Structure 1
Amino acid sequence: MQYRNFGTTDLQVSEVGFGAWAIGGDATIGSTAIGWGPADDATSKQAIKAALDAGINFFDTADIYGLGHSEELLGAALQGSNVIIASKVGNVSRNDQFTVDYSKEHILSACEQSLKRLKRDVIDYYQLHTARVQHLENGACIEAMQLLQHQGKIRYWGISLNTFDPFPEADFFLNNNLGSGFQLVLNLINQRSLSLVKNAAARGYGIIARMPLQFGLLTGKFSVDSHFEITDHRRNRLTPAIIKSSNEALQNTWELCNKYQVSKTQLALSYILSYNQVSTVIPGIRTPEHVQLNTSGLVKLAPEDINFIEREGQATLASLLSVIEKQG
C-alpha cells in the first residue's frame, strides 16, 4: 500500500481507503432505501480486518450510513487500531422522512453520538455531508465545525460535495479559506471535478475521490438482467437503460484492460490515482474479496491513455445523461 499526504494536514492516508457506506446494511427511511441491500456484520468485520492487513488506514463513513450502524461496526472492529477515521454530518432521518440539518445544535450533538458509536475521543476528519451554499452562508454549520475543532473533538474538517461544476460550495470554501479537504466524484465516466481537484490541491486541500466505480457500473459485472434488492438504493439508479448505455459506451475504454493486463476495477482505480492531487480513493468495501480486488494490481497509466480515457469519459457521461433525460 502506498500513502499520500492529505493536503497540508499531518494526515498520511492510504491511497486506497475503505468506503463504509455498504456495511451499514439495508436501512430505509420510510420507504426509501438508503443502503446497499443486506450486509452481514461478521463478513463486514472480516473485511475491515482484511483492509487493515492490506495497509488501508483511511476509513470513510457517515452517521446516516445504516442510520449509525456503519459507525458502530467500525467502532467495534477498529478499537485500539491506529487508523484515520472520517465521518459526515447533516443528513438525517426524522419522522420517517429524509431531511438535512446543518444547525449548530444538531452538528454538536451528532458529533457526540458519532464519537460514541466509533468508540473514539476524536474524529480525524469530519465532513459536512452535502451541505449547500445556503447552509454555508448561514454560518451555523461552519461555527459548529470550528468549535468542535477548537474543543479537540475533531482534528480537521471539510465538505463532501454533491454538486457539480461550477461547484459553488467548493468556491465558498476556497474563497473563505475554510476547512482542509473536499470529497467529490471522480471516475472513468465523470471527470467534471478535475479542475477543482487541481485547484484545491494547489491550495493545500486534501482530496477524497468517491464513487470511483460509479455504484458498481465500472466493475463491468452488471447487465440489463442485473437485479437489485428493494433495500438497495441502486434499484432506482442503475436501471437497465443506464446499464445498457454505460456498457456500450465503455467498450473502447475497456480495451485498455488488455494493454495493462488489469481488471476493469483496477483500471478504474488506477485512473483516479494517476492524479497525485488525489489523496485517497474510497471504493465501497463489504467483503475481504473486495479488499483484494480494490488494492491489488494498480498500475501507472501512460499520459496518452489518461487523455484517451477522459475523451471517452466525456462522451460516456453525455450518453448517460441523454438516457436519464429520456426517462424523465
Structure 2
Amino acid sequence: MLLLFALAGIAALLAVIAVLWRDPLRLVRLEFARQRLAAGLARGTVEAAGHRWVYAHRAATDPAAPVVVMVHGFTGSKENWYPLARALGRRYRLLIPDLPGWGESERKPGAAYGFVEHAENVVAFIAALSPQQPVILLGHSMGGGIAALVAARWPERVAKVGLFNAAGVRFDDNRFGLDVLAGKNPFAVKDRATLRHYIDTVFFDDAAKPWIPWPFSAALIAGRRADAAFEQAVLDRIGRGDESLLPGEEAANIRQPALLLWGRQDAVIDPSALALYAARIPQARQVLLDGCGHMSIMERPRDVAAAVLDWIDAP
C-alpha cells in the first residue's frame, strides 16, 4: 500500500513537471481562476481598440448600481484587484480588465503600450461595455496614470476617478525612481532572488506578502523572464519617456469627484506623489494608509474598500 502511494506521488510530480515543461504558466492561470471564482467574478472577453480583451466582471445586486472599472499597473493584471472586489461586495457592477499587452489580453507585436495608448484603449473598453453610463474609474500605479488621462480627456465617460499609488508625477527621489531614471527595470524578475526582491518592494507588511511555493514560483519566474523585453519597452515610455509626467500635467483638467489613496510606506511611487496630484485636483479626497506599501489594493483591501464605499456614496 505504501508503495502504491509512493508511486502515485511520483506520478503526480511527473505530471506537474510535464505541465510546467509544456506551459509554465498553466498552473498560475488555474490558481487565478480559483481566485476569480472565490471573488464571485466571471470571465469575459471583448474586442475594443483593435485588441481582444479578457476581463473579470460581476453584476451588482441593484441593476441600476454604478459601474466600477479597475485598471491595473505595470507588471500587474486583473487579479491584483480581486481582494478589493471581494471587499466591495455586490454594491456595484465591476469590470476588471487585463490591459492589452498584459495578462490574458492580446499583445500585438510592435504596438506601443504607454500612457497615451492605454488611455485610448481604456476609453474604448468603457465605450464597449458601458456605452450609456459613465463609470467610476479606479487605477492603480501605472493604471492610475492611465485613469488620470482618461478622466481628463474623456470626462463624459468618467463620473468619478480614483488614483491609487498612481504613477505620472515627479515624486521625491527613492531607490525605485532613481533606478528607473537610470534605465533599469527595478521590477525585473529572473530568478527566486529577484522574485523575492520584487515582492519585498511592492509590499510593506510581511503578513500581506503572498507566499508563492514551487512550482508556482517557477512558472511566474519563467513568465516574467519571457516578458523582460516587453517590460523594458513599456517602462521606457511611462517611466522615463516624454509622456512619463503627462498624467500629472493633465490631471489639472480633472473636474470630476476624485479619490487619491496611497500607502505611507510605498517604496515604488513615493507618497509625496499624493500631494502633487492633490495640488492639481483640489476637489480630491485624500487617504493615506499607514503601515501600507505600494500594493494597497492587495495589502489593505478592507481599508481601501471602506474609503471607496464612503467616497462613491458621498453626495
TM class by shorter chain equals 0.3 to 0.5
Calculate the TM-score normalised by the size of structure 2: 0.34
